[in-house]
Amino acid sequence: MLRLFDWPVDGIPALLVKEEVGSIQKDANKPPQNVPNIYVLNKKGYQQEIEWAMKKMLEVYGVDKFCPMKSGNYRFEK
């Protein structure tokens, strides 16, 4: 989990918490697709909001789990 502006600025804590979600691969013949990251307000209970958002994203994308984030020229093995 990353916090945007992870360091306090003039004693003010970070405004947002960022959760990097990863990627999905519905079809083994196609490359993985990165999914959007989750950003929530840095307040009490933000972990629960991230959990809810991740469950909803799994439902929306129709997958059971997220794979690691992919970047660059991804080549899948045949």
Q: Is residue 48 in some structural domain?
A: yes
Q: Which residue has the tokens 């405004």?
A: 15
Q: What is the mean pLDDT of residues 20-42?
A: 92
Q: Is residue 75 part of a domain?
A: no
Tally of domains in the chain: 1
Per the DSSP assignment, residues forming a β-bridge with 39 are: 18
Residue range(s) defining the domain that contains residue 37: 2-61
Residue 77 lies in a domain: no
pTM: 0.73
Note the pLDDT tens digit of each residue in 56-72.
999 999 999 999 987 76
Task: Please indicate whether residue 11 or residue 15 has the higher confidence score (pLDDT).
Answer: 15
Q: What is the mean pLDDT of residues 26-52?
A: 93
Helix (H) or strand (E) holding 44: none
In angstroms, the CA 24 to CA 30 distance is 10
Eight-state DSSP code of residue 26: S
